[in-house]
A and B are shown apart, each in its own frame.
Chain A
């Protein structure tokens, strides 16, 4: 970290320059941002894209209570007590969110869920969860973003609009930069967009395959067939909207590439077919390796959603949708994923970390979330915070807090905070809740031992 403090004549606030700060708005996790900080306000964010600037300029300190219990202002200590009580008394709690916080906080959230025998899920389940399932089915031919920058001469953006959602992916990692084996940058690369819409990304690429909605699966399998040299008839165009001749042309280009990459977004995972769509795209990249080097990478959204996948995977063996109630992890998307658990009206408590499911989930899931005891940690007010029994105001990771996040290519990157917050971090709050829970559980065990009983407290509820 390189932080130089300098006095300023303009204001009483000290001027601080934070070099190589890390932006955690999207999965690109750009770590070359130079911040100018005046007091508790970031005034310049050199190298940041339009989304990064909005992230850095709008996370100043807000005047809000540190916590709310039933909508009434409360202290952190009161809220931590209440949160621990809710989680201990629950029969079937669910932990959700986690993609906009540090890996350190994610680890504590996993531990809490394990101690109380709850369900563990992250925003991955409504993002690239289907891709996570597909990795288990067909594997992942992968690479780092640095390899893309230095090697990729054929890029296929599939079901995503990075020009708007990941603006610096183009300039820093994939489309534009000059690299060791692509010294002329953009001129050395061919770019294709596969999307139902003619988005801003369409203007940046050489070829736009504007497929019909809900035909990603068929298009991927048509390309797989062409990669194997099989003959196809014109029904491909009828189904996908893409002329067979154009598909053959693209496949020729793919085979001639030295290093190709499919970068796929939620147009693939959120559309009917879901994990089967992701599987088809991943299998296409795998098949192409019979001709030349190809990889496929999901374009990840939130700043540390990749960290959530990593932390949850190394802790439990699975990336999301996990039940810990039997004392060992069980993975079952559709059963233990939040949309389903809440939509079926099953959970009786929820621990929501840095996420707003009350704005984004289906109506049945939202209705249930409102009906149960919900605990929320969020730096900003959200609809979920409004309906929560206990709502914590937190500091913002990366801006106020150090820690580790994972870039979308699974590269861990340190955070370099800009200024202190009067609010506590997710990690501190979660650790305090965990300590309360463990203290109570251990006291219950000791009391049982003294009375000549032995009770397993972890993994089941116990009276507060």
Chain B
């Protein structure tokens, strides 16, 4: 920023119809919320760039260009950036700027292959970058980020998870029988394993044998982000949702209902091997906590899609 203030030019990027566009709140790495405009795959990115000089000075430049970039930044082994999309247009030939100038730009029907993503060790960003090249000093740049959602994604993967045990119907219902011998035996059942982000997880847990002194039971939604190729892959897990579904100890024969609305949480659809750089998956974890604070859990992946 300090660099920017010292720069003699002020660059302002504006997208068309910014007021009517939908925005998304995204957390920055500093933890603040940032409002970003939403674009879809194949949508035209169009706008204006305004360049002003400061204090009425005259600035010479070697040309102004605008770029639309799509990059994946990974942090597996030092920051690595790889571009998967790069479009550029020349806005102005080398000249002198003495008063504010506005240049329109347009990238028509841009294919945006991936959705934007900000994770712990991986980020997928789309942004417009304006570069003013100068003879003497370094170039002056200005970036403006946008957020890309795909409309509906029939998504990667077809809805099953290798971690799901004793699966009855590959189609939708997930039913599991888990237990610790002579201690606990439960059966749980979700109506499906693929959920839209606005969906509701509905299911039930049936206690067949309870010898543990259970204090409560929770449902966790865990996002697991994997960066890099298998030998050097870095995996980071983050618990997004902690949802208590039972208080106290049930007895044999009890059925506990599960209902978890997903719509209100900041979830990420399941991404697999995005540009061979990273993946995000979401796991549903059922955790039983006993009176001695021991935790017993069972995880299974669920497929999320937008």
Q: Check if A and B associate.
A: no
Which A residues are closer than 8 A to B by beta carbons? none
Q: Which residues of B contact A (CB under 8 A)?
A: none
